[in-house]
Amino acid sequence: MSDASSMYHKRAMLNHFLDRLISFFTTLAITDFTFYKYSFLCSAIKESDLKTYTVKDYLIEKPKKGFVILRHDIDDNPEVALNMANLELHFGLRSTYYFRDTRKCFQKEIMKKIARLGFEIGYHYEPTGKLETDSRIFANALKKFKTSEINIQTVCAHGSFKEIDLILLSKYSDIFKNMGVKGEAYADVGFNKLDYYSDSGRIWRHISRTGEIKLTNTNRIVDHILRKGVAKIYILVHPQWWSINIPIWFLKQLSGAISTFIRVIFAQLTTKNKRP
């Protein structure tokens, strides 16, 4: 064997070993919220008979069943959203990325890049309940998107599931429709009639007509998707909760554990000092 082919052989062996190692980690529930795990979910969607939709396309086509609406709320870390879009593109999936109008999130170059990959960009608005004031703020935000050459067709409210008030959100939807927007990601999608999965706060929840249950990990979502009968799926994924690789995932876990440890010690010390 020549030196060159021996080197090639060694590299191939190493790549094979790394592939096996990554697929081993991917099967473990412990490595949840990594991009490896996310690719596992994407692959499950691709392998299923379900078609993925952006919110805009779902509102236009209104399929009866056999679909996954894939939605991303960008509350923080827009860079991760671009990585996630590239990963979804690899699996041929479609999705909508909703960006807040904040200094951190409104990154027009990132939004344009994601749009160029064929994904929908939406506005992640923040309803306060004061319709008049909010509509002025939202009109300005839509103008800002427009001047940045980002075409907004749908919007999505920022806030936790517990705060979602569909009656109020349909009022917001009407306001947005007067501004030329096609629809709102909660009020117009009718998400309470679908199987809704959300990773908010890095905890998977399944919300359906029968109520809300916590799912221990992404593997459980994959089980649900591959199970026959679950045919109207709406998934919310926050890219910011997902780590691009194992070292970043490990650092996030470690910093989370350290901050919890410090909080516990601090709480114990303050309780001790308060004792008479």
Question: Measured over all CA atoms, what is the biggest interatomic distance in the chain, rounded to whole angstroms?
Answer: 80
CB of 159 to Zn ion, least distance (A): 7
Question: Which of 73, 88 has the CB closer to Zn ion?
Answer: 73
Residues in 150-209 that interact with Zn ion by CB under 5 A: 158
Question: Which of 73, 184 has the CB closer to Zn ion?
Answer: 73
Burial class (CB in 10 A: 0-12, 13-18, 19+), 193: exposed
Q: Which residue is nearest to Zn ion (CB)?
A: 158
Give 132-135 contacts, CB < 8 A, sequence gap 24+: 134/172, 134/175, 135/175
CB of 173 to Zn ion, least distance (A): 17
The dihedral over CA atoms of 140, 143, 147, 148, expressed in degrees to the nearest 10, equals 80
Question: Which of 37, 238 has the CB closer to Zn ion?
Answer: 238
Please give the size of the binding site for Zn ion, defined by CB under 5 A: 3
Question: Which of 200, 208 has the CB closer to Zn ion?
Answer: 200
d(CA 160, CA 154): 19
Question: Which of 76, 177 has the CB closer to Zn ion?
Answer: 76
What values do phi and psi take at 67, rounded to 5?
A: -140, 160
224 binds Zn ion (CB under 5 A): no
What values do phi and psi take at 180, rounded to 5?
A: 95, 10
Residues in 60-89 that interact with Zn ion by CB under 5 A: 73, 75
d(CA 73, CA 154): 13
CB of 133 to Zn ion, least distance (A): 20
CB of 73 to Zn ion, least distance (A): 4
CB of 238 to Zn ion, least distance (A): 7
Question: Which of 53, 186 has the CB closer to Zn ion?
Answer: 186
> Mind giving me the DSSP string for 57-106?
HHHHH--SSSEEEEEEEESS-HHHHHHHHHHHHHTT---EEEE-SSTTT-
d(CA 67, CA 90): 19
CB of 127 to Zn ion, least distance (A): 11
Give the footprint of Zn ion on this chain (CB under 5 A).
Answer: 73, 75, 158
